[in-house]
Structure 1
Amino acid sequence: MKKILIVEDEVELANNISEILSDLEYQVAAIVNSAPSALRFLEGNEVDLVLMDILIQGDLDGIDLAYQIREKYNLPIVFSTAYSGTEYLERISSDIHEGYLLKPFTLDSLKTAVFFGLKRHAEKLAKESKSSGWLKIMDKGYLVPVPFSEVVYLKADGLYTRVFTKAKSYLVRDILKSFEEKLPAVSFLRVHKSFLVNTAYIASFNAKRINVGDTSVPIRRGLYKELMERMSV
C-alpha cells in the first residue's frame, strides 16, 4: 500500500483528503501543515508521494518546500492549490513535481493526480536506471546508486524485494517484477518466480539449482536448456 504525506494547513480539508485517499486504498502516512514539520517527518519515515498545498503555514511555502525535498529525497510531489496565477506557475519547475491539482477538486481528479504522480515517478526512475546503468535504491532515507554490475541477485519477499549486492543487501518496498523491468535483460535472468539473478555471478548450475556466489537458488522448470544456451556451456 502506497504511503502519502499530506502537507495542508486547512484542517477540515486535510482530513477530507485523508478519508478519500484511505477509501482509494492509499495509506496516509501523516498530515502536516508546514515545511519544518514535513521535513522532520521525512527524516525518520518513508513515504511514496507528497501531496502538498502551495500556501502553507510558516515562512516557506509549498514550492520552497518542494525544492528542499528534492535536494534530499527522490519523491514524487503533487501540488494542490486554489491559485493558478502566473506568480506561482512561473516558480514551479517541471523537475520538482509530478502533478498539479487545482482546488476545488473532485474525487476523480484527486484519484487521477495521485495515480499519475506515482506512475510518472516510477517511469522516470526506470528510465534513469536503464540509461545510467545504476539501480537507485532508497535506504534509510538516502538514495543509494548501485551499479548494475554490483547487483548479484534479487529475491521476492512479499510486497518487498531483497537486493543482494557484492557489498551488502537492501530491503526495498517494491515487487520483483518492477526490478525486472528496470534491469537489462541481457545481464539479468528470472530463474524462478522469486529470484532474479545477474548471470555474471552464476558459478554453477544443474536442472534444479543455480549457485550464485555462496548462495544456491531454485531454478524454474524448463529453464535449464535456456540457461545452457545463455551461458554458452
Structure 2
Amino acid sequence: MGLKDCVLIVEDDDLLQESLWNLLEELGYTVCGAADTADKAVALATRHDAMVVLMDVRLRGNRDGIDAAREIHKRTGTPIVFLTGSNDTTTLWRIYQEHPAAVLIKPADPHQLESVLSEIEKNLHTE
C-alpha cells in the first residue's frame, strides 16, 4: 500500500469504533489506528500519514472532536469526515467552521461512507 492509504478512526464508543473498523476493512481500507480522546487523535494523526480522519464530535476528555479536527487539519492538512448524532445547530455550525470533507449523521450509511471515502481518495490522487 502506498502513501495516504489508511484511515484514522476517532470515536469514543467502543462498539461504534469496532463497527467502523470492520466496515472500513470490508471496504478495502487499512485502519492506521483508533482514538477516543482529542489528544490521542492528534498524536495518531501526526504519527500516521492518513488519507482521512473519521471524527466523532463527542469524545472522552476535556476537548471534543471539533477541537481535535482543527488541530489535526492545521498540523497535517488531513481531510476530516465528521460523524455525529447531533442535529444541534450550534454543534453543526462549529463543525462547518472547520471546512470538513463531509459530515455524516450517525448511524452512518455504509454506502454513503464508501462514496465519501472514494471521493476523497480520488481527490488525493489528482493533486
Q: Which residue identity does 2:89 align to in structure 1?
A: T
Within-5 A mapping of 1:37-76: 37-76=40-79
Counterparts of 2:100 and 2:53, CA distance in 1: 9
Report whether the alignment pairs 1:7 with 2:13: no
Counterparts of 1:10 and 1:105, CA distance in 2: 14
Within-5 A mapping of 1:142-157: none
Give the CA deviation at 1:118.
Answer: 3.6
2:82–2:100: 8 Å Cα contact kept in structure 1? yes
RMSD: 1.8
Structure 2, unpaired ranges of 5+: none
1:8–1:33: 8 Å Cα contact kept in structure 2? yes
Report whether the alignment pairs 1:91 with 2:101: no
Counterparts of 2:94 and 2:9, CA distance in 1: 21
Q: Which residue identity does 1:55 align to in structure 2?
A: R
Counterparts of 2:122 and 2:100, CA distance in 1: 12
- State the structure with bigger RCO (CA 8 A, min sep 6), 1 or 2: 2
Distance 1:50 1:60, change over 3 A: same
Q: 1:114 aligns with which of 101, 110, 117?
A: 117
Q: TM-score, normalised by structure 1?
A: 0.49
Give the CA deviation at 1:76.
Answer: 0.7
Give the CA deviation at 1:117.
Answer: 3.6
Q: Which has the higher strand share?
A: 1
Counterparts of 2:20 and 2:71, CA distance in 1: 24
Within-5 A mapping of 1:12-51: 12-51=15-54
Structure 1, unpaired ranges of 5+: 123-177, 183-233
Give the CA deviation at 1:75.
Answer: 0.6
Q: Which has the higher helix share?
A: 2
Aligned length: 124
